[in-house]
Structure 1
Amino acid sequence: MHIHYISEENSILNHFLTQLRDVNIQKDSMRFRKNIERIGEIMAYELSKTLEYKDINVQTPLGIKETTTIADNVVLCSILRAGLALHQGFMNFFDDAENGFVSAYRHHYNNDDAFEILVEYQAAPSFQDKNLILIDPMLATGQSIVAVLNKLHLEQKPKEIHIAVVIAAPEGIAYLEENLPENCHLWVAACDEKLNDKNYIVPGLGDAGDLAYGNKL
């Protein structure tokens, strides 16, 4: 797996990450969603550098310009619900992309800290020979992403798989490296210290889905 850390150099990305983490600023759910969307745009731009392009001629009002355009087909697929704001950032740049959505959540079957990942809903186009970009803001254990990918492409083989996350834990990154094929790219805005005993990212930012869209039952 190829890992791309995009916050190693100072940029406006780190400014948005700081606001996402700030317990006072993140109370504004609209601003929280917007900052995740902005990070999605930055990640989409960086990811776009790895795609294939083709030469074209475009007619301008004053002549013909030789230029390039994306040759790859792109499918954006978000894990509900936390991935929606990040998905919007990618859609702002990959406006011709097809879109898919899938649900995955931790099922605490004994009402304790033990859990399994349930994937119950999916609505996605074909991604055979296309670039699949799987979008989820938080990479904690990595189990959700692996479960979703196993569910999505049992019969279809993407050209390449890109996984876009805002904040990751080292344990989750290691789990993906062990369980995903070599043609995967992981795009990480920030890598944090660790998981706690409840498998939440520390220092993290809290529950991204709740902060963006309100508390769930």
Structure 2
Amino acid sequence: MNNVTVVDHPLVQHKLALMRDKDTSTKSFRQLTREIATLLCYEVTRDLSLDEVEIETPIAAMTARMLSGKKLVFAPILRAGMGLLEGMLELVPSARVSHIGLYRDPETLDAVEYYFKAPTDLPDRLVITIDPMLATGNTAVAAIDRLKEHGAVDLRYVCLLATPTGLANLQQHHPNVRVWTAAIDHGLNDHGYIVPGLGDAGDRLYGTR
């Protein structure tokens, strides 16, 4: 699909398989989420721009390359997106964080907002929205709607699992937002859960299943 990158690195796929296993403990699921988030962060930031700067090593002066522009913004969708945030901050500890509180109405599957907080200079920063699951796509669309309302123009989306339905929905509403995912599963069940999926990511992260 257009603007979609499936991260098929062997370590990503191995960790995802462990996360899918219904017998994986809460502790292990949380650790795996943090680890896979770091690997996904590596991929989504692969093409960041660099500036040449003059530095001195203990041996000699040299021209080196460092990230250009303002720091990134990670925008986790609460609550499950917080499980990915920690692993991404390990790789980019200076990133700003925006919080987007959304839950999916169990009857309509529509996204309902209950909290939003973001840096005031979103237009000047790359904003990476993070959530484990891109199922129907309604939550992702709502989150990016809000970020754009607050001025974000350079947006990317990272998830563990996606479906063709969710990707199509996101691309219909936000065709300029690129997506990175560890896998594209084949569909949704009657309750809007990804099949085969890994269950409710929030419940498995926080032991509330």
One fold, TM greater than 0.5? Answer: yes
1:188 is the counterpart of 2:178: no
Q: Which residue pairs with 1:94 in the alignment?
A: 92
**3-state secondary structure, aligned to 1:128:** helix
1:105, 1:119 within 8 Å by CA — same for their partners in 2?
A: yes
Give the letter aligned to residue 193 of structure 2. Answer: Y
1:64 is the counterpart of 2:61: yes
Tell me the distance in 2 between the aligned counterparts of 1:174 and 1:82. 22
2:103, 2:113 within 8 Å by CA — same for their partners in 1?
A: yes
Give the letter aligned to residue 197 of structure 1. Answer: D
Q: Which residue pairs with 2:26 in the alignment?
A: 29
1:215, CA displacement in angstroms?
Answer: 1.4
1:70, CA displacement in angstroms?
Answer: 1.1
**3-state secondary structure, aligned to 2:123:** coil
1:107, CA displacement in angstroms?
Answer: 2.1
4+ residue stretches of structure 1 with deviation over 3 A? Answer: none
* CA displacement 1:65-92 (0-9 Å, x = unmatched): 3221111431111001101121111111
1:81, 1:209 within 8 Å by CA — same for their partners in 2?
A: yes
Q: Paired residues, what number?
A: 206
**3-state secondary structure, aligned to 1:77:** strand
1:34, 1:85 within 8 Å by CA — same for their partners in 2?
A: no
Tell me the distance in 2 between the aligned counterparts of 1:142 and 1:153. 16
Q: Unaligned stretches of 5+ in structure 1? A: none
**3-state secondary structure, aligned to 2:98:** strand
Identity, % of aligned positions: 32
User: Which region of structure 1 is more displaced relative to structure 2, 49-58 or 76-85?
Assistant: 49-58
2:135, 2:165 within 8 Å by CA — same for their partners in 1?
A: yes
Q: Which residue pairs with 1:213 in the alignment?
A: 206
1:79 corresponds, among 77, 80, 91, to: 77
Tell me the distance in 1 between the aligned counterparts of 2:15 and 2:79. 20
Tell me the distance in 2 between the aligned counterparts of 1:64 and 1:101. 41
